[in-house]
Structure formats: C-alpha cells, structure tokens
Amino acid sequence: MENCGCITCDAATKELYEKAKNEGIETVWDRARAMQPQCGFGEMGLCCTNCGMGPCRIVKVSKDGPQAGICGATEDTIVARNFARSVAAGAAAHSDHGRDIALALYHVDDKARIKDEEKLFKLADEWGITVEGKDTVQVAKEVAEKALGEFGKVFGNLLFLKRAPEKRIKLWEETGVASEAIDKEIVRVLHSTHMGCDADYRNIIRQAIRAAMTDGWGGSMIGTELSDILFGTPMPKKVEANLGVLKKEYVNIVVHGHEPTLSEAIVVAARDPELVELAKKQGAEGINVAGMCCTGNEIAMRHGIPMAGNFFQQELAIMTGAVEAMIVDVQCIMPSLATITKCYHTKLITTSPKAKIPGATHIEFDEQKSFEIAKRIVKEAVMNFKNRKGEVHIPDEKSEGRIGYSLEAIIKTLDRVTNTHAHPSGTVKPLVDAIKSGVLRGAVAIVGCNNHKQPHDSCHVTLAKELLKRDILVVTTGCGAHACVKAGLMSDDARKYCGKGLATVCELLDIPPVLHMGSCVDISRILVLLSEVAKYIGGDISDLPVAAAAPEWMSEKAQAIGLYAVASGVYVLLGVAPAVTGSENVATYLTKDIESVFGGRFEIESDPVKAAEKIAAHIENKRKRLGI
C-alpha cells in the first residue's frame, strides 16, 4: 500500500466506497467535499462564541477587519481558549469512560467476574489499601472507590502522577501542572475560559495541560487498569482484521464505540448456546461478532475478536448488507449511521444514555444486568437475519496479525531474553540494552483517528513503514492500530520492512515490528512504559529517544492526548494542524517554546515521509544527548 493520493490506501474501503457511489449513498468523504471550502476562521481558531455578544471573529488577512472581539479578547486569547476547551472535552470523554469502568468494578459482587486478581492486589498496594483479612470482592470495591475519588476528591494531586519518574513529578510541581481531581481540572478550564476570565494565553494553556493530565495520568489510566482487572490484562494473540472478517452465512454483529463493559457482555452473550441455536433456526450458521474502532481494539486485545475496521469504515460496514446489528456506546460514532441503516436491514442500536441517535433503536445498557441486556441485544440481531435485502457484498480483504501487547505482555516477552542471560526478570533491561547498543534507534507511538484531510490509513501505514526501515520500533493504539494490522504490519512477514537491527530484535523476541498496545485510553500503558524505561536509566521521559505521532487525528480526545504527551516530555507530531494557527504566539508556544519548559513539543507535518525524517532526526538528537 503506497500513498497513492486517493481517498484511502485500504482495498476493502476502496471497494465499498465505489459501491456507495454507485448506489448514491452518501459517506463521510462526500460530506467532506460538500463542506469545502471550510470556514477559515474556525480553521484558525479565530471564532469565539463564548458569550451572547458574539459570535466574534478576528480578521487576519487585512488590518481593516476586527482585530479583537467585542469584549476586547485578542487572537491569542480566543485561540488559546478554543484550544483549551477542546482539550477539556477530550479529557472529559476519556475520563468519564474511566469513571464508568470504575463504577462497573464497584458493583462487582462475584469474585469470578474479576479476571486479573493479581493486578487488583498490586493496585490496592500501590494506593495504600490494606488487603489483609479482606476478600477479593471487598478489595475490588475499595479500589473502585479510591478510583472514583480521583474524580472529585477535595484535596491532593492525582494518585497516578506518582508513576512518573521523580524528575518529571518535580517539574510538574514547579510548573504548576500537577493536576488535582479530574472533574475539578476540567471544570476549571470551562470556568477560566468563560467570558471575561483568563486572557493570558500561556496561563490558559497551563490550565489546559492540567486538564489534559487528568486524561492520560487520570481517567484513561483508571480506564485501562480497571478494565484489565475486570476483563483481563491483554496477552499476545492472533487476530484477523478488515471488513473481510464479516461472514456471509452468519449473523454479523458489529460492536462500535469505546467502553469494554458493553462489548464484553455482547461477546459472552453471542456464545450463549440458546442464541446460537436460535440463529441456526433463522437459517444462519452461527453468530459472528466483530469490533470497530476502540471497542474493536478492546475485545480484540482480550479475546481475539476480529477487528472489522476503523473510524472511516463504520459507514461502509453497513453497506456490506451483511451486518444484522451495529451496537454502539459512546464516542466516534457517526450520526450518519442512522441514515445509512435506512437503506439496509441493519439495526443501529444505541446503548448509552450519553449517546442516543435519532433513528436508532435504544436499548439501555445497565452494568448490573449486563448479561440479560446483552442477550436481548444479540437476539435483536439474530431475529434480523431474515430481513437482509439485496445482495450481500463483503470485500475479500482481511489480514492477520499478532496483537495484545500490554505492558505486562511486553515485560513477559522481554523476560525471554533476560532469562537466557541470567539477568533479573521483570524489567525493561533488554529493551534499554537494544536501544543503548543502537540495534534499535528508538521507539515511536503512532496513534489516533482517520481524517478526510489525509488519505485514509495511508499516513499511518506510510509513517510506520518509514520508521521501521530506520530501525525504530513502532507501538500503536486506536485507529492507527487498525490501520497497521490491516496493512499486515503486525505479522511476522512485516519484518521485511525493517532495518537489520529491528528485524533481528523482532526475531529474537518473536514479536511483530508494530506492537498493538490497545485503545486510545491505553495510551496510558505507553506512559507507564516510558516511565519505567526512564526510571531504569535514572533519567526523565524527555531524555528518551522516542516520539509520538497522530498523522490522521480528528477528535478532541486526540488533542488532550497530544497535550498530556507534550507535558510528559514527548515530541508529538500531528499530521493535521490543530485550530491554533490564528495566533502566532499560541502556535509558536506549542511548537517551540513549550519544549524549554516540558522537554516535549508539537510538530505539524502532513507528509508522512517528511514526518518520519523529522521524527528520526529528533530521535538521533536525543541519542546524541544521551551519549549513545
């Protein structure tokens, strides 16, 4: 797959996009085209609607137009405020997801429902919860309560900040970004960006960072850790990916969205013998569950459930005519699905009180009755099988890969080498050794969404390949992970894209060169990995020869992620410019000056080949400074 200049580099996507065109069905690409030209004020972040005197916009092209809002807010203030609000919304989404997982853990009343007891007790220990004389369910309740406290506690900083290297913690305290309770920091962004409040762009960004930190080192980390405790910590396993995982003769259920609570229950319900029997009575051979977007990542990582596709494939999945039900919870669900399902038999089922869509069937999910509700939803899908209309069109395209690289899985994998050299196991030593010796030059996280401003998947894949050939290990999450597995980059065969050093490491450790670390909230796994490596070398995250890239990002969550990564000391390359270009001060601060404060910064580069060059230069620079 090359960067061909067309809408996508994914063959299945191309095929169904053509089908959509022939059938006159509107997709994200058509709506993007109809939207051109997009509003220049919005694009630059120069439109303010924060009060009833507005909307106000700053005119950059001529000095004759307004140079300040009606209240006198400058371009710096307006741009910074808009950016901060986006970050807060992103952090809110991830954190509220984390809260729901914590609530699910809180309500567990049966030990059998806790899949990683070891991790539960480890976290209890980390948080100073005494476990002696308590049973597992009791400990789970107390851990969940502590986690829920992180959202609204009256005093004190986020507990997980302590997982960072000491130097980093000190830096956060000195620069005033060591976050307190999650909800508090997000509310503070909304307050301080209210009309007539904070006008100092640097201070607005400082508060935005505090909110972003409650995502990566707060809600997301809670989401990841507690999901592992509840549903199991991912371990390497094989998976199939792309729309070709749908099966013509089966009842196809696509779960789409983010929270694993619902999808886990659906996976279990779909295996219920009664429902499988019912499916057979309807003329199907069985029930096939596949995942999309981050929900897809969650259940693929834990159960090897096939990955149907990423953000830009959600509409196309329905156009196969083979999907009996698309079940969604929260985030990244296009409202257009309701329109498209009208042309097919597919039932769109919403399940969260936070995300209803006109035209969809709403069956509210309730964690306490999860199995019952999941069975009801699966039954809806089964009974819909006979309603298929017209021809079923499933692209042949699917690929295979190995996924499931949680931090625990990575350490276990590294132990294979440690043990043979009689070194202490359970550390990142082999990884550090490989980087120090130069066999590996460094590591890069490729994360984030799809965006019509970039060819679909093409930037993820091209960037990954460009890095692999430079002996840079790639880890990935979110829709970037879908792109990479579809392109075959998580198979052993992908070693052919690697430089000699990386290929050797992959062979020795028996790993693919691109490691799937999970969903977007699982970027918290990467933060912990970076912290472990930094602590091991006695330094800080900003010392490491690493970087992050979101070549096709679109969501507010991605902006929050980018900002907490920068504040954690990481160089973050964005393939799409955020709406900050209207203020030279804000743009310069985020792409240059911020580095002298946090050791990380943003870089904007839409071309994935040039992006790889810039990242590689950054990595070599860090190596030089480390003297390796």
- Residue 255 as a binder of ligand CUV (CB under 6 A): the answer is no
Nearer to ligand SF4 among residue 73 and residue 251 (C-beta): 73
Interface pick for ligand CUV out of 28, 104, 294, 567 (rule CB under 6 A): 294
CA angle 288, 292, 293 (to 5 degrees): 160
Task: Find the binder of ligand SF4 among 73, 139, 144, 348 (CB under 6 A).
Answer: 73
Per-residue contact track with ligand SF4, 30 to 59, x per CB under 6 A? ------------------xxxx-xxxx---
Q: The tokens 């993007």 sit on which residue?
A: 32
Q: What are phi and psi of 471, to 5 degrees?
A: 65, 35
Q: Residues 45, 494: contact at Cβ < 8 Å?
A: no
- Give every CB contact of residue 170 below 8 A, 6+ residues apart in sequence: none
- Smallest gap from Cβ 51 to ligand SF4, in A, equals 3
Residues 17-76 that bind ligand CUV (CB under 6 A): none
Does 98 sit near ligand CUV (CB under 6 A)?
Answer: no
CB under 8 Å to 356, separation ≥6 — which residues?
350, 362
Binds ligand SF4 by CB under 6 A, chosen from 45, 69, 306, 551? 69
Q: Which stretch binds ligand CUV (CB under 6 A): 24-32, 60-68, 492-500, 551-559?
A: 551-559
Exposed e or buried b for every residue in 49-85, given b needs 16+ CB within 10 A?
A: ebeeebebbbebeeeeeeeebeeebbbbbbbbbbbbb
The conformation of residue 235, written as its DSSP 8-state character, comes to: -
Residue 381's Cβ-side half-sphere holds a number of Cα atoms within 13 Å equal to: 31
Q: Rank residues 77 and 519 by Cβ distance to ligand CUV and give the closer one.
A: 519
Amino acid in position 154? V
Q: Write each residue from 406 to 445 as x if it is in contact with ligand CUV (CB under 6 A), else as -, in one continuous string.
A: ----------------------------------------
Q: Which of 41, 172, 311, 385 binds ligand CUV (CB under 6 A)?
A: 311
Count of other CB atoms within 10 angstroms of residue 420:
10
Rg (CA), the chain: 24
- Determine if the peptide bond prior to 513 is cis (ω within 30°): no
Minimum gap (Å) between residue 602 Cβ and ligand CUV: 17
Does the annotation flag 4 for ligand binding?
A: no
Q: Is 39 annotated as a binding residue?
A: yes
220 lines the binding site for ligand CUV (CB under 6 A): no
- Residue 556 and residue 514 in contact, taking contact as beta carbons nearer than 8 Å: no
478 binds, among ligand SF4, ligand CUV, none (CB under 5 to 8 A by kind): ligand CUV
Stretch that binds ligand CUV, among 32-40, 193-201, 503-511, 552-560 (CB under 6 A): 552-560
Distance CA 533, CA 435 (A): 11
- Choosing from 167, 168, 470, 557, the residue that interacts with ligand CUV (CB under 6 A) is 557
What backbone phi and psi angles, to 5 degrees, belong to 484? Answer: -70, -40
Look at strands 237-241 and 399-403 and give their pairing.
antiparallel
Q: Is 294 annotated as a binding residue?
A: yes
Q: CA-CA distance, 482 to 401, in Å (whole number)?
A: 10
- What is the end-to-end Cα distance of the chain in Å, rounded? 34
For position 537 contacting ligand SF4 by CB under 6 A, the verdict is no
258 annotated to a ligand binding site: yes
Nearer to ligand SF4, 41 or 598 (CB): 41
Relative to beta strand 47-48, strand 56-57 is antiparallel
Which one of 448, 545, 551, 600 is in contact with ligand CUV (CB under 6 A)?
448
Among the listed ranges 31-39, 71-79, 206-214, 400-408, the one in contact with ligand SF4 (CB under 6 A) is: 71-79
Question: Following DSSP, what letter does each residue of 129-178 receive, concatenated?
Answer: ---TT--HHHHHHHHHHHHHHHHH-SSS--GGGGGS-HHHHHHHHHHT--
Based on the shown chain and the rule CB under 6 A, indicate whether residue 517 belongs to the binding site for ligand CUV. Answer: no
Residue 484, annotated as binding a ligand? no
> Is residue 47 a known part of a binding site?
yes
Interaction of residue 70 with ligand SF4, rule CB under 6 A: yes
Q: Which amino acid is at 297?
A: N
Q: H/E/C letters for each residue in 368-432? A: HHHHHHHHHHHHHHHHHHHHCCCCCCCCCCCEEEEECCCHHHHHHHHHHHHHHCCCCCCCCHHHH
Residue closer to ligand CUV (CB basis): 258 or 535: 258
Site for ligand SF4 in 458-487 (CB under 6 A): none
Binding of ligand CUV at residue 555 (CB under 6 A)? yes
CB nearer to ligand SF4: pick between 79 and 484:
79
**What's the CA gap between 202 and 99, in Å, rounded?**
30
Q: 48 labelled as ligand-binding?
A: yes
Q: Is residue 519 a contact point for ligand CUV (CB under 6 A)?
A: yes
Residue 343 labelled as part of a binding site = no
CA 84 – CA 93 distance, rounded (Å): 14
Find out whether 316 and 242 touch, Cβ atoms under 8 Å.
Answer: no
11, 32, 59, 71: which one binds ligand SF4 (CB under 6 A): 71
459 annotated as a binding-site residue? no
Say whether residue 539 binds ligand SF4 (CB under 6 A).
Answer: no
Between 267 and 554, CB nearer to ligand CUV: 554
The Cα–Cα gap between 573 and 467 comes to 13
Binding mask 158-197 for ligand SF4 (x = CB under 6 A): -------------------------------------x--
Query: Considering the complex, what minimum distance in angstroms separates the CB of residue 247 from ligand CUV?
Result: 23
To ligand SF4, the closest distance from the beta carbon of 557 in angstroms equals 25
Q: CB-wise, 58 or 484, nearer to ligand SF4?
A: 58
Is position 197 annotated in a ligand binding site?
Answer: no
Three-class DSSP category at 341: helix
Instruction: Determine the 3-state secondary structure of 90 from DSSP.
Output: helix
Burial 296-312 (b: 16+ CB within 10 A, else e): bbbbbbbbebbbbbbbb
- In terms of CB distance, is 431 or 520 closer to ligand CUV? 520
CB 555 to ligand CUV: min, Å: 4
Interface residue with ligand CUV among 212, 293, 417, 576 (CB under 6 A) is 293
Query: Going by C-beta distance under 8 Å and a sequence separation of 6 or more, which residues neighbour residue 497?
Result: 465, 468, 469, 489, 513
Beta bridge partners of 355: 352
Binding-site positions for [Ni-4Fe-4S] cluster read 258, 294, 332, 449, 479, 520
| Site of interaction with ligand CUV (CB under 6 A) | 258, 293-294, 310-311, 332, 448-449, 478-479, 519-520, 555, 557-558
Annotated binding site for [4Fe-4S] cluster: 39, 47-48, 51, 56, 71
Q: Which residues are annotated as a binding site?
A: 39, 47-48, 51, 56, 71, 258, 294, 332, 449, 479, 520
**Residues that bind ligand SF4 in the complex, under the rule CB under 6 A:** 48-51, 53-56, 69-71, 73, 78, 195
